Amino acid sequence: MFGRNSYTLSKENKSRKLNVIKYLEAPSGMVGNILSWVLFTLVFWGALYSITGGAALPKGNLFSLLVLIILAQLGGILAEKARLPPLLGMLIVGVILRSVPYIDIIGSNIDSSWSSAIRKMALVVILTRAGLGLDPKALQKLSFTVIRLGILPNLVEMHVVAVVSHFLLEFPWLWSFMLGFIFSGVSPSVVVPCMLNLADRRLGTDKGVPTLIIAGLSIDNALSISGIGVFMGVIFSSGGIVWQAFKGPVEVLAGIVWGIIIGIICWTLNFGGAGAMGCLTTAFVAGIGWRNQGWPDNKHPVKKNFNFLWCFYQPLLFGLIGTEIKVIHILAYVARE
């Protein structure tokens, strides 16, 4: 009898110990993720403060950027829960941090040079992701369609905007065409993640739809950048008009050639990065080499690293774009009209 009771008590004590250990384990699921990100943010902020001092304190540039990326990420999550595009929530957060009284101190304390540099780095990340996501076989089959998709809609939209802005807003023709190229450019930060998501889910890949749209977008952007450069060069010309007219296309061609060379080097040295058209070409050519080496599309560490980087750059990019919008200036303009 005594032996049986001792066995029962020891079994109950062991069960209690296991329950205590279970409760002491790290939380998982959503709670665990939230606590992990809170801890990471606090540690990261502490490291920033120990290195930079006042810049990581309230009213400092780095502190404002840290607040922006956290709130923009939360805004994107809430927008996604409401079945809206995450970038819309990130944009709204940026607008609030620049336009709402007392809160606008966050947006106004972000250094403009930092904002510009971060937006350029975000463009490099998304274009590199786009280049790595292109399917060479689908691109070869749809080459002529890609060219039509990248050029015709861009030129039609550019001419429509130019004519409307000239006759309705009374812009000079040169300014009208430059405005047309500004409007006709497609945002890679909006389109590329959607297409890569479709490619990862194997939707439309049999007909090469994601590759078609990403490649067409790249040509569209190159054409818009070239057009803006040409008309800006002519408007603010400091040299010959003929050179200004050919400067944009020459820069795009140079970027492609440079991207091919760097991409081939990446086959063996295994690194990535570039700028504008050369950036996308670098990633595309490097991706071809890595596929030939036997790497599956989504397994190469470079692609994984750029996907991870985009998780940080996306809220920063759209949040910073939102901070450029000053609602009070828009309201003042509407009131004047």
Joined together, the tokens standing for residue 263 give: 């991409």
Report percent pLDDT > 90 for the chain: 6
Residue 254 lies in a domain: yes
Residue 236 lies in a domain: yes
For 124-133, 170-179, 328-337, which range has the lowest pLDDT when averaged over its residues? Answer: 328-337
The amino acid occupying position 56 is A
Residue 145 lies in a domain: yes
Query: CA–CA separation, 39 vs 32, rounded Å?
Result: 10
Cβ–Cβ < 8 Å for 108, 99 = no
pLDDT band at 269 (very low <50, low <70, confident <90, very high): low
Helix (H) or strand (E) run with residue 233 in it: helix 209-235
Residue 25 lies in a domain: no
The DSSP output letter for 26 is: P
| Tens-digit pLDDT profile for residues 152-205 | 998 999 999 999 999 988 899 989 999 999 888 887 778 888 887 887 787 877
Rounded average pLDDT over 260-278: 56
Ranges of beta strands (E only) in 46-183 are none
Q: Which residues of 69-101 are buried (b: 16+ CB within 10 A; e: fewer)?
A: bbbbbebbeebeeeeeebbbbbbbbbbbbbbee
Rounded average pLDDT over 68-87: 88
Query: CA–CA separation, 28 vs 219, rounded Å?
Result: 45
58: left (phi over 0), alpha (psi -120 to 50) or beta: beta
Report percent pLDDT > 70 for the chain: 76
Residue 25 has pLDDT above 60, yes or no: no
Residue 13 lies in a domain: no
**pLDDT in the model for residue 158:** 92
Half-sphere exposure of 200 toward its Cβ, with a 13 Å CA cutoff? 14
Residue whose tokens read 């595009």? 85
| Tens-digit pLDDT profile for residues 221-261 | 878 877 887 787 777 766 555 666 666 666 666 666 766 67
- Residue 13, helix vs strand vs coil: helix
Rounded average pLDDT over 107-127: 84
Total-model pTM = 0.68
pLDDT band at 15 (very low <50, low <70, confident <90, very high): low
Rounded average pLDDT over 68-82: 89
Residue 18 lies in a domain: no
Residue 97 lies in a domain: no
**pLDDT in the model for residue 335:** 74
User: What is the domain range of residue 328?
Assistant: 113-335
Helix residue ranges per DSSP H, the chain = 2-24, 29-52, 61-81, 86-99, 104-108, 112-133, 136-141, 143-168, 173-184, 188-200, 209-235, 241-269, 276-292, 301-323, 327-336
Query: CA–CA separation, 159 vs 179, rounded Å?
Result: 10
Residue whose tokens read 């809220």? 315
Into how many domains does the chain fold? Answer: 1
Joined together, the tokens standing for residue 30 give: 């959503």
Residue 85 lies in a domain: no
Residue 64 has pLDDT above 60, yes or no: yes
